[in-house]
Each structure stands twice: as structure tokens, then as C-alpha cells.
Chains A and B, each alone.
Chain A
Amino acid sequence: MKFIDEYRDPKLARSLVAEIHKTVTRPAVLMEICGGQTHTLMRYGIDELLPQQVEMVHGPGCPVCVTPLEIIDKAVAIASMPGVILVSYGDMLRVPGSESDLFHVKAAGGDVRIVYSPMDALRIARQQPERRVVFFAVGFETTAPANAMAVWQAKREGLRNFSILVSHVLVPPAIRLLLGLPGNRVQGFIAPGHVCTVMGYTEYEELAAEFHVPFVVGGFEPLDLLEAILMLVRQLEEGRATVENQYARSVTRLGNEPARRRMREVFEAAHRKWRGIGEIPLSGYRLRPEYAAFDAEQIFGVETRQVEEPAECISSRVLQGLAKPVDCPAFGTRCTPESPLGAPMVSSEGACAAYYQYRRHADVVMP
């Protein structure tokens, strides 16, 4: 298949692996930030091909995983209201809030629908003016432009029955937090290719200079990741700490300016709580005041209580690279994708769920 098979070629993979083995002379702890990249690493067993000195640590870039329980509770409460159609990306439906998930709301008679784009939610709102349509706007900088576009379009059309429940988070503030932690082990980052397609990578240049850590903007196919790892290892071996772009077929330094303009028009930076991490200053988006009429939180005014994560969950240590998912005593037993105790087990892009799906060993009890 064109544009896929070129990036999964076993022969090319072997030569990249050999090159990494040849280059590395000292330990290197690398983090792939994006959950999509974690998924590829696990699915193809890329980390098993690497030299022992190269350790991959799995970052917080799984939008489903880091969505706080409070927001899921809000979505559940809104979806349970009469006359509401809650529209969401598929993998948000299974995520348990503190008491229920959207699948259960649907089974109890709530109107919950899966779409591939917020524009589909807009279409539903146009077709059913008597219903209130709420789109669950989750994700990083990647999904923000389309969500901004939907709100912008709704305002232009004067749609009064459309709103979004915003839970947008941003990558650079979370990386800054990780780099500033006293026990940080991560020496180099694979920056998220799709986020950078929108945002460009100037923000990562600031981080690279400030913390003297190399970044390589990486794609999502096996060869993308191997090449990005090789580029990071080379930088570390040569003592460099710059931002390089492996994913040049999609990413430019300045990103997609028209998309960012639309995002700036609709959203503004806000403090956000990350599931498994806590509140990070200015790490997300909220709707600007001039778009308040499309803000589901304001329209529905749902109160939610603060909920605590289970003490047993070691997700914050996993996300910092201090522990691997299989180090957790609850992994695969008390904590599974069907009943996750913590964020990284929630979606298949989370580190724990990726291990569970592809790497659970026979000695782990099947639930």
C-alpha cells in the first residue's frame, strides 16, 4: 500500500536497527510523547529490537487517557439529560468516569453517537434543531483546529442547538513539567508528529535550548520511529541538543498557520487538569468569551465533585519513566482496559493499555 508499506519495510528496518546499534555507546533514555507512537512501538515490538542501552519511556500523549474524571462525569451528566445528543470520538465512550461511562448512558436510553469528525456533529445539529447537540471536544493540538472550525462555523450559521464540551490539552507545558521534575531520567524526546503538523516545532526549540535536551519530530510508522530514535541517539552521542525533523513529509517548522489562526480565534489558553498528572498551568484550551454561547459547561452548568485517583495506581511514575506498566502490582489483574485504575490503561494509546494489549505475558493472570 502506497505511503504505508515504504515505512514498514523489514529490510530497511533491519538496517536502521543496525545503525542504532553501531552508533550508541552509552545509555540513552528516550521518550516518545504521543500515544500513537507508543502504540506503534508495542504493536511492532520496536523496543525489543533496540540495543540494551536505549530505553523507551512512554509519554503522556494519549488524549483519552489524560482527560480528567471530572470532565467524563460532566459528559455523562449532560448525555443523561433529556433532549440532548452527545457526540464523541469512539474511544471516549468506554472511559469510565467516577460512576458511569457513556456506553452505559447509551444503554439506559441516552442518545450518544460516535463520529469521525466534529463536522458530523454539526450536521446532526442542523438536521435536528429541536435537540441540543453537544460535541465532546477532546484531544491535543491535533484535533483542536477541526473542533475550532466546528464552533466557528456554528456561530457563522447562527446554530443555537450546538455546543462543545472542551477538554483540550497542549503538549509543551506537560513536557516542561516532566523536564523540571527532580527525578527526571528522560534525555531525549520524539516530538509528536501530528501535533507539530499543526503547531510547527518552534515551541520545542525553546525547550531544547532551555533544558539542553534533543528533540526529533517523529512520525508514526515503524521506520519513522526507528529513524527518529537513530537521530536522537546521534545527537546524544555528539552532545547536541537541537530540534530535528524526521517527519518532514508532514511537518514544517512553522506548521499550519491557517489552522492555528482559527484555533486562536476560538480558543484561549487555560489551566487544565491532566488525569494521572494533576493541574498544569496554561496547559490547555477553553472557549473564548465571545464563543460562550457554544460552551457546554456554561450552558448545562453541571456541577461535579473532585474525585481522587486510586492510590494503588503508579501512572505518574510510568509517565515519568520511573516505572514500566508491568512493574505495577495491579497490572492486568485489578487494572485492565475494561476497568482501569488509572489513565494509561484507559485507551489503547496509553502505555499500560498498549502493554496489556500487546505484551501481557503468560505469567500474568487473565482477568
Chain B
Amino acid sequence: MTLSCPLPLAAKDRILLGHGSGGKLSAELLRDVFLPAFRSPVLNRLDDQAVVEAGGARLAFTTDSFVVKPLFFRGGDIGSLAVYGTVNDLAMCGAEALYLSAAFILEEGFAMAALRRIAESMARAAEAAGVEIVTGDTKVVEKGSGDGVFINTAGIGLAPVGLSLSAANARPGDRILLSGTLGDHGIAILSEREGIAFETPAESDSAPLNGLVREMLAATAATAATAGIRAMRDPTRGGLASTLHEIAAQSGVGMALEEEAIPIREEVRGACELLGLDPLYVANEGKLVAIVAPEAAEAALAAMRRHPLGARASMIGTVTGAHRGMVTLKSVFGTTRLVNMLAGDQLPRIC
């Protein structure tokens, strides 16, 4: 190549914020740093949780760190988020979360009252999700070295025997089910952070999904000997688009979505219009997307809709053998466009 400039900026010498966005940069970090260092076949599957055999049991194991700002927001706080996030990662392989750890990195000077409020919220969340926080850790860093409080939780649960849900399992013809409206959490956080006041403020959807998953598994187990549900994911950071890209890449399939079928709340749509954001990339904390065999799709959808957290569940598209590794969206005008995977965070546009 004879190109002198602009040199493509390889994001390799320093960590950028985009490395934490769940997009392409996050995937590069895994590929270039962690996977080669840890060399674990279980880790290489890149599922939201590890399923390992130990002492004759199938254990599901996961961990997640929470650095959300603001700490308290409409519909939740960092404490409930830390509990539900880990419960949900376990639920996505069909496992019931049993025990959680909680580790706190506290910044010198952080208000005790706020910490107490967070701990109480975690206790309530654990009770709601039916898990117990059984071990933990506390570290304090100097003022300026942290941002109030960071929380890490890890969780273990029992994975059901004979059920193997993985993002590598999607097959052409499978249906794509979404448990409810998109973008509620991300927009709630953003409006609070930016101090944007909307007439009907968005509220985070932060919630434990294990109950919903239980209903779905019960409803589909009878449908077919082969697992009716192939894969489940909670589309958190990076949103639905990034989650579907991951499944498409891991399964070697394409994803074809129908714009009209994707439920989005009015207030979230409004905020996205105003801020120049696409709800497909906005974070959710109480939603799941399921890839389901066609013969089990109706039963799974009906089960989702019976549960309060799946009341607005919808069949949003189909897995295809065409355009492998890509996600497309059919618009209300009948035209089809590509849904790209973002490199980093979604950035507000100038105009």
C-alpha cells in the first residue's frame, strides 16, 4: 500500500472506552489478549457463562463487574443491577442461580448512607431472584482512583442435565424471540446522566430473568426431543444488534429481523430520535433474546407472554442460511438494510 495518511488508528497501544462497549473493540480485546493468554476451551465458546462438570454435577459459573453511573436511576441502582446481571447470565444457559459473591471497590470518601442503600437493594434483589450472597470482598482505593463504588458479582448455579444452550447452536429456519421492549435501561441511564427531562421519563428494565426462563423451558421441553430452545442471551451493553451479531458469528448463520415486530416504548423512541441513537444498540438489563426451533416457537412465545416480564414478547425475525455472520432488518417500507456491528459506543450525531 502507498497510503501515507490517515494511518488507520490501530487501537492496540492503549485501552479506549470503546473496549468496554460490547462492540468490535471488545471482541478484539478478547481475541488478542485474553483468549490466547487463558487458552481454555470452555472460555473459547464465548458464552455468557461457563458450564463445567464437577463432582458429577453440571455447574454454571459466571462473573460480571458493574461500573454504572449514576449509581441510582429510575427503575434500579448499581446494587440490584449487580445481582440481576449475574443471575441473568446464569439463566441464559438455563441454569438456576444458587449462590453469589459480591466484591466492592470503594472510593475513599464515599457516603456510608449510599453504600447502605446499595447493600439493602442487593439484599432485596437477591431475595426476588431466589439467590443467596454467600461470600464477598471489600477494597478501598484512594480518592480519585475510583468512582464512588464498583461492584463485581460472581455466581454459580446448576445447569439442567441434557440441556445445552449455546450461541453456537442457531440454525437456519430458527425463530428469533425477544422478551419485551428495547432500550429501556440505556435510555433511563442516559437521560439521568445528561440531565435530560422527558415528559414520560424512561425507566430501567433491570429485572431477574430466571423465572421467565423457567417458564420457557417448561413450555418447550414437551415440544420436541431436540432442544426447542437453541440459545438465549440477554442483550445488555451493545444492545440487541451486538448480541445477534455474536450469535450469528458463533453459529455461522445470518439473522433477518422485521422492524415492525420489534417492540420499543414511545418514550425510548422519542429519546433515541432526539439524541440521534438507534435503539437496536442501546443496553437492556431485563430482556432476553431466544433462538428457538420453528416447531417450538409458538409455545415459547406463549410461555413468555404469560410471564409478567415477557408480556410484550415478540417474534422479531428468523435465522437464515443467507448472509452468514450478518444481521439484516426489513423496514416498514419493505426494504432491507444491514444492521452493522458498532466498533465502540454509539456516538450522538452533530445533526
Top-7 shortest CB links A-B: A45-B335, A339-B8, A90-B347, A358-B337, A90-B348, A310-B3, A362-B323
Which among A19-27, A36-44, A244-252 touches the partner chain? A36-44
25 A-B contacts (beta carbon < 8 Å): A1-B270, A10-B333, A36-B351, A43-B337, A44-B337, A45-B336, A46-B333, A46-B335, A49-B333, A89-B350, A92-B350, A96-B7, A96-B8, A98-B6, A99-B5, A99-B7, A103-B16, A104-B9, A106-B16, A140-B351, A340-B6, A347-B349, A347-B350, A359-B337, A360-B338
Q: A121 to nearest B CB, angstroms? A: 14
Other A-B pairs, 6, CB within 8 Å; known A1-B273, A116-B348, A307-B6: A45-B337, A89-B348, A96-B7, A114-B347, A334-B3, A358-B338
Query: Is B263 positioned at the interface, with any CB of A under 8 Å from its CB?
Result: no
Which chain A residues border B273 with CB–CB below 8 Å?
1, 4
Which chain A residues border B14 with CB–CB below 8 Å?
104, 107-108
Which chain B residues border A203 with CB–CB below 8 Å?
none
Query: Is B340 positioned at the interface, with any CB of A under 8 Å from its CB?
Result: yes
Closest to A346 in B: B6
Complex contact A338–B351 (CB within 8 A): no
Complex contact B7–A139 (CB within 8 A): no
The answer to whether residues A143 and B323 also contact, given A98-B6, A99-B7, A360-B338 and a CB cut-off of 8 A, is no
- Residues 335-367 of A, flagged 1 when their CB comes within 8 A of B and 0 if not, give 001111100000111000000111111100010
- Interchain CA distance A3-B223 in the complex, whole Å: 45
Complex contact B270–A139 (CB within 8 A): no
Which among B79-87, B147-155, B179-187, B324-332 touches the partner chain? B324-332
Q: A69 to nearest B CB, angstroms? A: 6
Query: Is B15 positioned at the interface, with any CB of A under 8 Å from its CB?
Result: yes
Q: A38 to nearest B CB, angstroms? A: 12
Which chain B residues border A341 with CB–CB below 8 Å?
3, 6
Q: Tell me which residues from 164 to 187 in chain B have a Cβ below 8 Å from any Cβ of chain A.
A: none
Which chain B residues border A334 with CB–CB below 8 Å?
1, 3
Complex contact A49–B335 (CB within 8 A): yes
Query: Is A13 positioned at the interface, with any CB of B under 8 Å from its CB?
Result: yes
Complex contact A101–B9 (CB within 8 A): yes
Query: Is A317 positioned at the interface, with any CB of B under 8 Å from its CB?
Result: no
Q: How large is the interface on B (under 10, 10 to 19, 20 to 34, 35 or more residues)?
A: 35 or more
- Interchain CA distance A138-B349 in the complex, whole Å: 12
The answer to whether residues A10 and B332 also contact, given A42-B337, A310-B5, A362-B322 and a CB cut-off of 8 A, is yes
Query: Is A222 positioned at the interface, with any CB of B under 8 Å from its CB?
Result: yes
Q: B291 to nearest A CB, angstroms? A: 20
Which chain A residues border B266 with CB–CB below 8 Å?
1
Q: A248 to nearest B CB, angstroms? A: 20
The answer to whether residues A308 and B269 also contact, given A106-B17, A358-B338 and a CB cut-off of 8 A, is no
Query: Is A194 positioned at the interface, with any CB of B under 8 Å from its CB?
Result: yes
Which chain A residues border B145 with CB–CB below 8 Å?
none
Q: Tell me which residues from 51 to 101 in chain A have a Cβ below 8 Å from any Cβ of chain B.
A: 63-64, 69, 89-94, 96-101
Complex contact B17–A360 (CB within 8 A): no
Most buried by A among B5, B7, B275: B5
Complex contact A308–B5 (CB within 8 A): yes
Q: Tell me which residues from 221 to 246 in chain B have a Cβ below 8 Å from any Cβ of chain A.
A: none
The answer to whether residues A96 and B9 also contact, given A89-B348, A116-B194 and a CB cut-off of 8 A, is yes
Which chain A residues border B347 with CB–CB below 8 Å?
90-91, 93-94, 114
- Interchain CA distance A224-B253 in the complex, whole Å: 36
Complex contact A194–B351 (CB within 8 A): yes
Query: Is A279 positioned at the interface, with any CB of B under 8 Å from its CB?
Result: no
- Interchain CA distance A334-B8 in the complex, whole Å: 9
Q: A120 to nearest B CB, angstroms? A: 9
Closest to A307 in B: B5
Query: Is B138 positioned at the interface, with any CB of A under 8 Å from its CB?
Result: no
Which chain A residues border B343 with CB–CB below 8 Å?
94, 337-338
Which chain A residues border B336 with CB–CB below 8 Å?
45
- Interchain CA distance A310-B344 in the complex, whole Å: 25
Complex contact A357–B340 (CB within 8 A): yes
Query: Is B40 positioned at the interface, with any CB of A under 8 Å from its CB?
Result: no
The answer to whether residues A94 and B325 also contact, given A44-B331, A138-B350, A310-B4 and a CB cut-off of 8 A, is no
Q: Tell me which residues from 1 to 47 in chain B have a Cβ below 8 Å from any Cβ of chain A.
A: 1-9, 11, 14-18, 24
Q: A60 to nearest B CB, angstroms? A: 14
- Interchain CA distance A99-B11 in the complex, whole Å: 12
Which chain A residues border B194 with CB–CB below 8 Å?
116
Q: A274 to nearest B CB, angstroms? A: 16
Which chain B residues border A45 with CB–CB below 8 Å?
331, 333, 335-337
Q: A104 to nearest B CB, angstroms? A: 7
- Interchain CA distance A142-B2 in the complex, whole Å: 37
Query: Is A271 positioned at the interface, with any CB of B under 8 Å from its CB?
Result: no
The answer to whether residues A357 and B8 also contact, given A104-B16, A114-B347 and a CB cut-off of 8 A, is no
Q: Tell me which residues from 209 to 238 in chain A have a Cβ below 8 Å from any Cβ of chain B.
A: 222
Which chain A residues border B338 with CB–CB below 8 Å?
357-360
Query: Is A206 positioned at the interface, with any CB of B under 8 Å from its CB?
Result: no
Q: B44 to nearest A CB, angstroms? A: 20
Query: Is A303 positioned at the interface, with any CB of B under 8 Å from its CB?
Result: no
The one of B3, B332, B340, B349 in contact with A90, judged by C-beta atoms closer than 8 angstroms, is B349
- Interchain CA distance A337-B24 in the complex, whole Å: 12
